[in-house]
Structures are given as C-alpha cells and as structure tokens.
C-alpha cells in the first residue's frame, strides 16, 4: 500500500463481509421454504427473503466495487484520495440507505420490480450517494499524476453504472414498457458496465500479481471490454423475446447474446495467459487463486450457462424457470463475487501489513465455496430442467411440478452448507487480518523488494 | 500485431455503433405501429392493479411474462386458467392461501383492489408474447 487514504477501502470491504453473510442467511431461508420448512413465513415471507437476498447481493457487490475503487484509484493516479472524510460520509450513508431499504422489505415497503425493489424515495438518496462517490473518485483520478487505462476503464464502468440506474426510476403505466427499461438497468449493468469494473479490477490485479507489462495488459483490456459491449448491448435483446415487444429482438438478441460468451472466454484466456507469461512470483497465492478463478468461473457461469438458455428456441421453454436461477447464481458468483473477493484478498495483507498470504483457512475458503457453489448450481440446473419438462412440455400444474423438484432443493441446501462454510472461513480470515496499520505504509519498500523475483 | 490505439478504437467504435443500433431498435419496437400490448386498453384500473402488483412485490414469488421469482405460479393468463372469482377470493382471503402447503401472504385486499388486480391480469392475458403465452400457460392453451 502506497497511500494512507487507501485504508478507507478496508471499511468498505468489512461492510461487504457483513452484507454477504446476511445474504447467505436469507438464501437459506428461501431454500428451506422451498422444501416446505417455512416457519418464518409470518415474519419473513418468501418475497421478503428473495428481495433481501438479491438486493444484499447488489449492495455488497457495489460496496466491494467502491472499496476496490478507493484502493485502486490512488495507486493508479499516484496520489491520495481528495477527501478521506467524504469517503467515510459516503460509506456511512450507503450503509444507512441499505439498512433502511432492507428493513422496509420486512414491512411491505418496496417497489416490487425484480432487483430494483428499493422504493423511489430511497432511489434519490442512492443517486446522491453515488454522485458523492464518483465525485471523490473522479477528482482523485484527474488531479492525479497519471490516468491509466485500467483506472479509466474502471471509472467509466462506475460512471455508466450510475447513469444506467436512472431509467429504472421512471414510472410506466405499461408492465411491458416497465420491464423493457428495467432491463436497461439490470442487463446493461451485469452484462455491460459491471464488466468494465470487473475488467479494471482484473487488469489491476494481473499487473500487480503477474508483473506483465502494463501496456500489454491494458491493450487486451480494451479488446475484452470492446467485445463485452459489442455483444452485451444488443444482447439485451434476450430479455425482450417474450415480454410483449417486437419479434425483431428474437433475431438481434439471439445473434448478439450468442456472442456474449466470447467476451468471457477472452477474459479467461487473457487472465490465464498473463499468469503464464508473468515472471513475478507473487507470494499472495490466494489473491491469484481468486483472480484467475473469477476469470474462469465467469466464463462458465456467465458465458456458457448463459448461452445454454439464451437462444430464442430454448428460451421459449426455459424463460421464467429455475434454469434462470441456475445461470444467475454461477454468473454472479464467478464474475462479480469472486473478483471482489480477489481484490479483498490482494488488498488485506497490503493494508494491514500482515502477510497471511498462504494460510490453510484461506485455501479451504476458496475450494469449499467454489465446490459448494458448483453443487448448488448443478442442483438448480437439474431442478430447472425437470421443471421445464414437467410444466412446459407435459403441461403439469405449477405446484405439482414443484413437489417433484423438492428433492433437488435438499441437494442444493447440502451444497449451500459447504458454500457457507467456505465463506465463513473467508470472513474468519478477514477478521484475523485485523485493521489497517500505518506500519503497512512503511513496509512498502521491503514488500516490493521481496515481490520481484 | 494489434496496437493499443487500435484496441482503444475497437472499444469506442464498437460501443458507439452498437449503442446507436440499440437506441434505434428501442424506438422501433416501442413505436405505436408495432404495439403488441393493446396499449389503448390500459385503463385506470389496470394502472391501479400494476401499482398493487409492485406495492406488494408479487414478483417476489410469482412470475409474470416469465419474469419474477419462480416460487409461485406464472400469472400470465391466470384469469383464463383459474377464473376471476377464484383469483379475487385468493387476494381477499384473511388466511394464507397455501396450495400443496406453500403459503402465500394473506393480503386481505378490498373488493376494489381485487377488481383492479383482475383487470391488470386480464390486460396481461391479452398480450402478444411472441408465442410464450401458449407455452407458459399450457392449461390455458385451448381456451
């Protein structure tokens, strides 16, 4: 760590850990409800658990991206953040808005639009919060000594993410138009601008961990984010197949979303190739595992599993079934959760000065969470395919088909326990690192001396 | 070999072109001449139904037009399948409706609110969903 103000990232990461843990708790509530154990129904009905589960995901990932930006931008711009005090104000207000929204969901206060359940009144506070965040980051970047491609791509992703939140705040009388623009936010976030943020974090980590020349990494970063937008923007069409808009989207969405895996494949190949090309033997093996893991799992989860049901002919049957949940879990895990866990794993030793690089707990956290998540995804996939056949092909009633897939949720819960054990170990390691120290700043020279082989 | 400036041009050029096409297609598909939703049939009651749909986060369990949470049945064409009286009764029930033991929140809606929901579902039931309306509601296929 080179700049003291980078320490602010620690508190964003700590909030991440707390929200992630809560997200998993609500996931279990949903899983148990699906096998008939819904004792909490009177206090936390399924729609509350679901809204909390998905919104906590969005909030903790955004918190992670913000923490990553506060860590990465000073280092890239080669100066301190313009205001640490405002960064803390932003963190606390973000946490307060998040807590207010999540609490409201338990009292039927929300706006029931998948992923965008935050009521419009709170939306305005989200906007103010994000503007403050962007103000700090942009001012730091442009007052800095240099504006690197890595920083610019990441900041572009953050600015676009903020802009794209706006179409989701407009009221439409028609459910169809409402859905249409809701996907402007949700799809263009996760299959568009969030990939810029991911790409920026990935490039930063690869530069640090592999020692490959920045120019080479950043050139390929442009190619990857170029492929992302080339396929992802018109790929939005795969959400428009069957929601009451023109058939042209069947062709446009089909062709361009079939190209979407290419961007993820490029990202995976890029990460693996840079790792092999790199001559630096960085001691932080865990950060390297999470980084390369994110690139590979995002290709499988977002790329391949997305492709599995993206063609209109397939999607006609899988749209609105558990197949979507299968893809959603592995895509979010690989592309975004893992990259946030990667930057945390990289930043923690540097911020605290404690070199817990290669601990058994850390490795167990990586493998248990990955194996558990893969098991969950397989269980959801089997449940989804069974649901499609029983309900959509054989015409069975929804609840009759749900009874048939119950067993797969038992399997899912067992795997979720493995996953949760992994994440618990990750959080345990996070706590063991302790708080950031100023000695970590002084260790910089020694650290770099050791790092370069 | 590709240079960094060429890579940058690919990123900005590709993004600009696809974004412009996307905007063009959005305008095209939302043009009144391409309406598949019977937009003129959106009455005050349908709008009220949509408000209620959102205020109670129905999408947090159900799906509509295939969008939602997969915990409770798809509600496109629900009126065709179940009939308005049953739908109203479920919405107005003081005890949780629980087919096969899976509970729904007891919303205890007023008559007026339940009517608005029925009108909203009827409007949804008339949408041209490019063939999905026949797949998603097999039980309503022949009606």
> Chain-wide mean pLDDT for chain A?
94
Q: Is the Cβ–Cβ distance between A354 and A434 less than 8 Å?
A: yes
The contacts of residue A210 (CB under 8 Å, 6+ apart) are A274, A275, A277, A278, A279, A280, A282
Hey, where are the domains in chain B? 1-34, 38-140
Structural domain range at position A295: 4-451
Q: How far is the C-alpha of B90 from the C-alpha of B107, rounded, in Å?
A: 8
Torsion of CA B134, A237, A157, A335, to 10 degrees: 50
Model confidence pLDDT, tens digit, residues B103-129: 999 999 999 999 999 999 999 999 999
Is B57 within 8 Å of A33 when comparing Cβ atoms? no
User: Hey, is the C-beta of A191 within 8 angstroms of any chain B C-beta?
Assistant: no
Considering only CA atoms, which of A341, A356, A350 is closest in space to residue A20?
Answer: A341
Is B60 within 8 Å of A241 when comparing Cβ atoms? no
- CATH number for B38-140 (one of 3.40.50.300, 1.10.760.10, 1.10.10.10, 2.60.120.10): it is 1.10.760.10
Nearest Cα residue in chain A from B107 = A108
3 state SS of A217: helix
Q: What is the pLDDT of residue A444?
A: 59
- Specify the CATH number for the domain of residue A196: 1.20.210.10
Per-window interface: B 16-45 vs A, CB < 8 A: 18-19, 21-22, 25-26, 28-30, 34, 36-37, 39, 42
Closest partner CB to B61 (pick from A46, A178, A227): A46
Model confidence pLDDT, tens digit, residues A315-355: 999 999 999 999 999 999 999 999 999 999 999 999 999 98
Q: How far is the C-alpha of A310 from the C-alpha of A181, rounded, in Å?
A: 19
Is A112 within 8 Å of B39 when comparing Cβ atoms? no
Q: Is the Cβ–Cβ distance between A200 and A151 less than 8 Å?
A: yes
Q: Using pLDDT thresholds of 50, 70 and 90, give the confidence band for residue A365.
A: very high
Is A179 within 8 Å of B11 when comparing Cβ atoms? no
C-alpha distances in angstroms, A28 versus A52, A60, A143?
Answer: 12, 18, 46
Model confidence pLDDT, tens digit, residues B18-55: 999 999 999 999 999 999 999 999 999 999 999 999 99
Length of chain A: 453
Is B60 within 8 Å of A403 when comparing Cβ atoms? no
Question: How many inter-chain contacts (A to B, CB under 8 Å) are there?
Answer: 200
């Amino acid at each position: 760590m080179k700049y003291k103000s980078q320490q602010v990232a620690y508190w964003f990461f700590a909030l991440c850990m707390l929200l992630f843990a809560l997200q998993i708790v609500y996931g279990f509530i949903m899983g148990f409800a699906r096998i008939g154990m819904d004792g909490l129904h009177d206090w936390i009905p399924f729609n509350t658990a679901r809204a909390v589960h998905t919104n906590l995901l969005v909030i903790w990932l955004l918190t992670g991206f913000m923490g990553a930006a506060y860590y990465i931008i000073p280092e890239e711009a080669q100066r301190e953040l313009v205001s640490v005090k405002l960064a803390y104000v932003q963190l606390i207000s973000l946490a307060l808005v998040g807590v207010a929204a999540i609490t409201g969901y338990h009292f039927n206060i929300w706006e029931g639009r998948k992923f965008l359940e935050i009521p419009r009144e709170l939306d305005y506070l989200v906007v103010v919060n994000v503007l403050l965040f962007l103000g700090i980051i942009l001012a730091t970047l442009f007052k800095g000594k240099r504006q690197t491609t890595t920083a610019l791509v990441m900041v572009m992703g953050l600015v676009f993410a903020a802009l794209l939140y706006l179409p989701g705040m407009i009221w439409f009388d028609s459910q169809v138009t409402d859905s249409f623009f809701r996907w402007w936010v949700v799809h263009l976030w996760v299959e568009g601008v969030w990939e810029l943020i991911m790409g920026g974090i990935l490039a930063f980590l690869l530069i640090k961990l592999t020692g490959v020349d920045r120019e080479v990494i950043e050139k390929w970063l442009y190619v990857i984010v170029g492929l992302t937008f080339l396929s992802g923007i018109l790929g939005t069409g795969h959400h428009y197949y069957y929601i009451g808009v023109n058939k042209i989207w069947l062709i446009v969405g089909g062709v361009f979303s079939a190209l979407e895996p290419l961007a993820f494949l490029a990202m995976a190949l890029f990460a693996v190739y840079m790792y092999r090309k790199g001559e630096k033997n960085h001691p932080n093996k865990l950060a390297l595992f999470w980084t390369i893991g994110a690139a590979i799992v995002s290709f499988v989860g977002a790329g391949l599993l997305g492709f599995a049901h993206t063609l209109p002919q397939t999607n006609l049957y899988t749209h609105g079934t558990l197949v979507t949940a299968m893809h959603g879990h592995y895509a979010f895990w690989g592309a975004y959760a893992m990259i946030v866990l990667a930057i945390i794993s990289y930043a923690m030793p540097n911020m605290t000065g404690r070199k817990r690089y290669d601990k058994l707990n850390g490795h167990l956290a990586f493998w248990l969470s990955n194996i558990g998540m893969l098991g969950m995804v397989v269980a959801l996939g089997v449940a989804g395919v069974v649901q499609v056949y029983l309900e959509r092909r054989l015409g069975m009633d929804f609840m009759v088909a749900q009874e048939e897939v119950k067993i797969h949720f038992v399997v899912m819960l067992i795997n979720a326990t493995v996953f949760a054990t992994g994440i618990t170990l990750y959080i345990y390691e996070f706590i063991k690192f302790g708080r950031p120290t100023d000695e970590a700043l002084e260790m910089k020279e020694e650290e770099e001396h050791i790092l370069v082989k | 070999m590709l240079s960094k400036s060429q890579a940058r041009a690919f990123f900005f050029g590709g993004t600009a072109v696809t974004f412009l096409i996307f905007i063009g297609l959005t305008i095209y598909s939302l043009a009144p001449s391409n309406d598949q939703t019977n937009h003129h049939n959106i009455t005050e009651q349908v709008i009220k139904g949509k408000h209620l749909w959102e205020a109670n986060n129905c999408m947090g369990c159900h799906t509509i037009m295939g969008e939602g949470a997969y915990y409770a049945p798809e509600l496109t064409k629900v009126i065709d399948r179940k009939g308005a009286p049953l739908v109203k009764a479920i919405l107005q029930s003081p005890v949780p409706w629980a087919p096969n033991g899976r509970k729904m929140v007891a919303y205890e809606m007023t008559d007026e609110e339940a009517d608005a929901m029925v009108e909203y579902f009827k409007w949804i039931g008339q949408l041209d969903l490019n063939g999905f309306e026949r797949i998603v509601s097999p039980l309503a296929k022949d009606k």
